Amino acid sequence: MTTPARKRDPKDARRVRHTRMGIWDLYEDRETDVSRIAWTYAQIVQSVPHMLRTLKDILSIRRAWVPLSAFLAIEVLASLVPAVSLWCVMTEPVGDSPAGRLCAGTPVNCSAL
């Protein structure tokens, strides 16, 4: 088990990376991303039985699948709104120029703008 960040010594170069940014001092843990990913995965795996039990309990209620499926459909559609709006902005024609007509309906490279 790791110690909390507030108890770590900022002068310990093995565990803390110090970067000077102008007048600011930036201290970062030298932990690998693999340990964070493994911890997150372990938390998800531990939560699966509870999620399945909750879903089973909800679906055991008579006619609960109707509002649940409506909720899930709305959430999926709402999650797609940012991507669709970005796609619509990036595929808009840019005036009557030949480049604008050429780019109409195709994604535009943002770095070229």
The pLDDT tens digits of the residues spanning 55-106 come to 999 989 999 989 999 999 999 999 999 888 887 776 655 555 554 444 455 5
CA neighbor of 54 nearest in space, from 64, 41, 63, 66:
64
Do residues 103 and 72 share a domain?
A: yes
- pLDDT of 12: 77
Q: Count helices and strands (H / E) in the chain.
A: 3, 2
Supply the pTM of this predicted model. Answer: 0.42
| Total domains present in the chain | 2
Structural domain that includes position 75: 65-107
Q: Which letter does DSSP use for residue 76 in this model?
A: H
Do residues 89 and 101 share a domain?
A: yes
Do residues 101 and 77 share a domain?
A: yes
Which region among 17-26, 33-42, 60-69, 91-100 has the lowest average model confidence (pLDDT)? 91-100
